[in-house]
Structure 1
Amino acid sequence: MTSGRRGLQPRKQPRQGRAEITRQRILAAAAHVFAEYGHAAGTTNRIAERARVSIGSLYQYYPNKDAILVELLTRHLDAGMSALTHGQDDEAPDSLEEAIRRYVRLTIENHRDDPQLLRVMIEQAPRSPELLEKTSQYQLARTVYARELIENHPEARVADMEVAARLLVSTVELVVHQLIAAPDPLDPARLESELVAMLTRYLTGEPGTGRQQS
């Protein structure tokens, strides 16, 4: 695996329509190859063959397969941020349960396109400084969103809103990732229903340790 910072970045950004089409073909082919073969066996030769481009053409855009995988993961994070931003523009639901449901559903939808590819991206993609920074920003934005979601509903009875927001984000991300990309994945509708019920009970439970006293 290439460890140098430059080895994880694209070699050139297309300036013409035809070049952009070629790059999109490479990325689409890589998504299929990584999902089918995993990271170790997802070679640049297989990617080039799937994209119907020469290996030389592929290397004009990306120095190695890790750079391609990093770009796929970056695009996944960008899609999640975009969905979160659009979700903030929607009218706030009346109940805390429905607010949690909207957040859980958004996360599930962002994981459904190709769960096997997502597993490879999250578990095996190399981490460049830029990617680590983007991931950190993504988590921070989701935590801010979750905290505002909780604070805006009087049904929430947690004492520490910051901890609750971080627990909400981490729980949803980890559970959805594990159970959507599992060899025997849960049905998304069932996963949504049970996860929403679990989180709603946590946020609206009876007063006790860690809860606000009425």
Structure 2
Amino acid sequence: MPDDPAVQRRKPSQDRARETRERILDSAAQLFAEHGMAEISTNRIAAHAHISIGSLYRYFDDKAAIIDVLRTRLLTDLEERFTEAVLGSIGLPLRESVGSSLRVIMHAVADRRDLVRALAADATVAGIGFGGLERRLLLLTRAYLLQQLGPRPDAELDTRAFVMVNAGLAASLRMALQPPPGLDPDRIIEETATMLGDWLTAAT
């Protein structure tokens, strides 16, 4: 039975719409990373994407809507990479396991350093919505600790998860966004992982 002609017509249109939306987002991400958000207007994003401003407004109400999508994508990607690293490191020695997770966050942020800086003026955990990422990482880290340490009082698991996420995430973000001159970011992450790993080993 031949395909429905209406469906055949609709699919290319949908594909073009997705391509246009992605082009808008890619253009905005590039411009924000290169010039900062304050300097970039929707008109400039449309011109960079080679579309009319009217076409841009078919997909996004304003610049804030574009920023929201870019922020959500960034945080989702960081969470997915962290989750993969944690799951893949279960069974490894604690130092190696923690170090693997921290390096994933550091390199994922470093790959998008300019965009992250543009999306958050201060690039802290609270800025850019990293607070939402922190909450999700806390849940994942708590589950990881339960797997590694065995049943513990809720207060202990919550406290240890909080310390690990805040110390580890802070170090990863700092090394990704603004590493101190003369210091090797990977060495800093390794030392942080050693500190947290030894601390957890003492609890087993």
Larger mean Cα displacement after TM superposition, 85-94 or 68-77: 85-94
1:4 alignment partner in structure 2: none
Q: Deviation of residue 116 (structure 1)?
A: 1.6
- Please point out which of 139, 143, 148 is paired with 1:153: 148
- Using the size of structure 1 for normalisation, the TM-score is 0.71
> Does residue 193 of structure 1 match 2:190?
yes
Aligned residue type for 1:173 = L
Q: Which has the higher helix share?
A: 2
Question: Hey, what does 2:10 align to over in structure 1?
Answer: none
For structure 1, list consecutive stretches of 5 or more residues without a partner in the other structure: 1-14, 126-130, 206-211
The alignment-based identity, stated in percent, is 32
Selected match of 1:107 from 105, 109, 123: 105
Higher mean C-alpha displacement, 170-179 vs 40-49: 170-179
How has the CA–CA distance of structure 1 residues 183 and 198 changed in structure 2, closer, same or farther, with 3 Å as cutoff? closer
Q: Does 1:179 align with 2:175?
A: yes
Deviations 1:48-82 (A, max 9, x none): 22212222211221122111111001011221232
Alpha-carbon distance in structure 2 between the residues aligned to 1:36 and 1:56: 24
Q: Residues of 1 paired with 2:179 and 2:31: CA distance? A: 18
How far residue 203 of structure 1 moved from its aligned partner, in angstroms, is 3.1
* Matched residue, 1:82: 80
* Alignment partners' CA distance in 1, 2:186 and 2:179: 17
Measure how far apart 1:183 and its partner are.
Answer: 7.7
Q: Distance in 1 between matches of 2:162 and 2:170?
A: 12
Residue-pair matches, total: 186
Give the direction of change, closer, same or farther, for the CA distance of 1:50–1:124 in structure 2 (3 Å limit): farther
Aligned residue identity for 1:180: A
Relative to the length of structure 2, the TM-score reads 0.74
Change (3 A) 1:183 1:143: closer
Cα 1:142–1:183, aligned 2, differ >3 Å: closer, same or farther? Answer: closer
Q: Which runs of 5+ in 2 are unaligned?
A: 1-12, 150-154
Kindly report which structure 2 residues correspond to 1:15-94, keeping only aligned pairs within 5 A, or say none. 16-87=14-85, 89-90=87-88, 92-94=90-92
Residue identity opposite 1:172 in structure 2: G
Residues 122, 204 of structure 1: alpha-carbon distance in 2 compared, 3 angstrom cutoff: farther
1:199–1:175 Cα change, 3 Å: same
Q: Which residue of 2 aligns with 1:7?
A: none
User: More displaced, 18-27 or 46-55?
Assistant: 46-55
